[in-house]
Amino acid sequence: MKDNLEYLIDYRKTTMTTLVDFLVKTLDDLKATEILPLDVKGKSSVTDTMIICTGTSSRHISSLAQKLIDESKQAGFESFGEEGRATADWVVVDFGQAMVHIMQAESRELYQLEKLWG
């Protein structure tokens, strides 16, 4: 039984690393800038990792969110929801163990999530 439990723990770590790596690489491929993954285990009851990045415009941010959801689904990673695409100033995409915050530079400077969660 203990061996099975260790396997499950290792599997979750591997899956988490794979998910975060996939999201960061995809955001980079889609031309997001200042991509910063933050480990928020123990600080957040909602997720283990927050990935913060910057888009160049409302259209770019909206496109980043949609393409990230589409490419993640093709790779086998499910998204559980998104918020903010109507204004596209700050869009959050929920992947369960990772939350992706796609922000305009002004919003990122104003809210300073890196300081809050880092």
Between CA 9 and CA 18, with CA 12 as vertex, the angle to 5 degrees is 145
Kindly state the average pLDDT of the residues 34-48: 93
pLDDT at 4: 41
- As a whole number, the mean pLDDT across the chain is 88
Question: Do residues 8 and 45 make contact, with C-beta atoms less than 8 angstroms apart?
Answer: no
For the chain, which domains are there? 2-117 (3.30.460.10)
Q: Cα separation of 21 and 23, whole Å?
A: 6
Q: Higher pLDDT residue, 88 or 64?
A: 64
pLDDT at 12: 46
Q: Higher pLDDT residue, 47 or 8?
A: 47
| pTM, entire model | 0.84
Q: Cα separation of 34 and 105, whole Å?
A: 10
Q: Which helix (H) or strand (E) holds 52?
A: strand 49-55
pLDDT tens-digit map of 102-114: 999 999 999 999 9
Who's near 43: CB < 8 A, 6+ residues apart?
Answer: 117
Phi then psi for residue 86, to 5 deg, are -60, -40
Kindly state the average pLDDT of the residues 35-45: 93
